[in-house]
Every structure is written in structure tokens, then in C-alpha cells.
Amino acid sequence: MAGITEQPTLPKHDSTVLDLAFAMDCTGSMSSYIYTAQTNIRNIVEQIVASEKSDIRLALVEYRDHPPQEITFVTRTHDFTSSVQDMKRWLDKCSAHGGGDRPEAVADALHDVLRLCWRPNATKICVLVSDAPPHGLGDFSDTFPNGCPNNLDPMTIVRSMAEKGIILYTVGCEPSITPYKEFFAALAYLTGGQYVPLMGAKALTQVIIGGAQEEISLERWMEDVNVEVERAVEEASDGDINVEAVTRRVWGALKGRGARGKQLLRNRSALSGPSKEAKKLSTYANVADVRKDFKESSVSRTFRGRGSARKTRGGRGGGKGCPRSRSRSRSPTKRSSPESFTTEESEIQIEQAARMVQKSLMRKRAIIDRSSKK
């Protein structure tokens, strides 16, 4: 990462203070996911509080699309509350409706997430639940092919989220999201978060709980990671650092300290990390640059020629309007087997160390940028 030549002090975080935001696609195909959140939000909070002893606040950003594709709303934002009852009331008012073309107002939702009243010392997590891409990625049905009509760009917004310390979990509702999973994986990678493939709504509760537990456990070791990253930055004479070498250094230091953390598992296996393609996409400055090089997976060819009837006009269970497709998510079980997510505590893994280094570098960059403007 170029341009890091100083050694600023990163703000301290309290891992037991958790701000957890949800960005929910509320278009026609998402009713089963909304219903799962509605019926399980109390259980989600109680499990996180019981296991992590957390001071937790919740926020919700609902999103659909821009007119003329959707006339009800683009986004509806509910800022942080410590009341589970408030969150339950917001979710109960959510409904799956409309959507129009396949892309949705993802950029607007992320923009609203960034503008929430996050506590500076909190572990900050956003769970984005989506089955559709943002505008501007080249989807054949896109009414706004050049991107968000409000000139909001998900790449620049997510970088700002990462610099603010917001960890993004992109929950991809497969198979509909499969052609765009590398893009969503790139967004998560930028923040040190994870892309989580989801084949059905039932497992959403455990994804949210497990993701929060993992990030809280890793945040407890971020001061140690910051020390190692700062040393590496100081030693880099030209301002560039070898991220892989720093990751190995950090991992070794954490192992030496006996560091342990929790890890979200899918069907008893670790989630697949970001691919080379996702990492490459994460380097682009904006969606226009991504669009020039973006290659939908071969699955997208199955979608083409079938129109843009991805969304239904509401009703529980929704309907994708799309055929089943092969997921590239690595799983030791058959597709017909139940999907399960669990959390396991162990030594911190090198993949987790890599995400922690990414978090540290992005947060450090924000401080350097602010210092340079003074």
C-alpha cells in the first residue's frame, strides 16, 4: 500500500461495545430474509450479549430502488438504538415489494450506513443482505447503466467505511447474487470483513450472531496488530509495504502471544477467503473502473435472455424469477444438505490475521489523510 510514510496513533476500541447495523434489500424477492430478521432479532441480541457481554446498539437501513423502477422509497434509515423493541418495531414495518430491474439502490444504502451515528470506540459491523448488484456494473437490465442516479459510488463509500473502522459483511443470497459475488466479496475485503454465501433465509440468524462474535473476538487483538503494522510501516523506507509479509509477521506475533479468536464456519469449514479476482476489483477507485474490467461469472449467461423479472411484487417467500445456478462456495456437503453456520474458538488463523492487517491499514490511512489536510 503506497503513501504510508508516517506512524499515527490509532484510536483505541472497546471490543465489548458493539454497534451493529443492518442494510436490508426490501424488494420483492427478499421476504423470507426479512421475516427471519423480524422473528429472530431478540434472539440475535440475547445470544451476542450472553456470549460477549456486549453493550450493543442496533440500526437498520432499508433499501429498494430509484424511480421509475420503484416509487415507494429508495432508502429508509433508522439510526442506532439500544432498544431491541425499537429494532423489532422497525423490522416489523419492513415488507418485500417491487424492485423493477435487477440492480438496486445498494450505493444509497451503504451511504446511509456510513452516515449513521457510530460510536468512535465501538466495534462497528454492518451486515448487508442482498440478492442484487448495485447500478453501474453492466447488468443487461440496468435502468441506470452509468451507476447510481444520486452519483453515489459503492467503492468510494466502502473505502470510507473501512477508514472509519466499519467492518462490512456482505451476505449474498445465492443463486441470484452469484454473477456478482466477486464484487460483493471485494467490498467486504476492503473493510476486513467477509462475503458470506447464503442459500436460504433460515441460516441468516446464525450468520449474524457468528459474524458478530468473530469480529468482537478479533477486535480484542487489534492493538497488538496495530503495533506490528506500525513497525512495518516505519521500516518501509519507500512508503510501500509487503502486505503478505506483514500478515505473516502479525500472525506469528499473535501465535506467540497465544491469541485465540472465534471463527464463523459454514458447514463446519472456514468461509472461502477473497479470490484473486475480488482482490483485484478492490483496487479500483470507482464503479466505472470496475465496470470496464468486471466479468460476471459464467452463471450470468444463464440469466441472460430471460428478461429482468427477478423481482416479484411482494408476498412471503418472494421469488427470484431466475433459474438455480451452481454456487462456487466451497462446501463439504451436497447442495441438498441443510446449510449450517456455527462458531468455533481456536488459535487465530492466518486468514483472520490478513483481515486484521487490512483493517489496520485502512484505519491508519484515514488518520494520515486527516493529518495531511491540517
Q: pLDDT tens across 154-173, in order?
A: 999 999 999 999 999 999 99
Q: pLDDT tens across 198-209, in order?
A: 999 999 999 999
Mean pLDDT across the stretch 261-285?
A: 96
Among 94-108, 173-187, 305-319, the minimum mean pLDDT is found in 305-319
What pLDDT, on the 0 to 100 scale, is given for residue 180? Answer: 95
What pLDDT, on the 0 to 100 scale, is given for residue 338? Answer: 77
Q: pLDDT tens across 101-160, in order?
A: 789 999 999 999 999 999 999 999 999 999 999 999 999 999 999 999 999 999 999 999
CA dist., res. 262 & res. 210, Å (int): 8
Q: Phi and psi (nearest 5°) for 346?
A: -160, -175
- Per-residue CA distances from 329 to 25, 207, 214, 266 (Å): 22, 15, 20, 10
What pLDDT, on the 0 to 100 scale, is given for residue 12? Answer: 63
Domains and CATH numbers, the chain: 14-220+263-300+341-372 (3.40.50.410)
Query: Which string of DSSP letters, residue by residue, matches 256-290?
Result: HTT-EEEEEEETTEEPP---HHHHHHHT-SSHHHH
Q: What is the mean pLDDT of the chain?
A: 86
Burial of 270 (0-12, 13-18, 19+ CB in 10 A): middle
What pLDDT, on the 0 to 100 scale, is given for residue 359? Answer: 98
CA dist., res. 358 & res. 319, Å (int): 37
DSSP bridge pairs for 260: 347
CA dist., res. 236 & res. 364, Å (int): 15
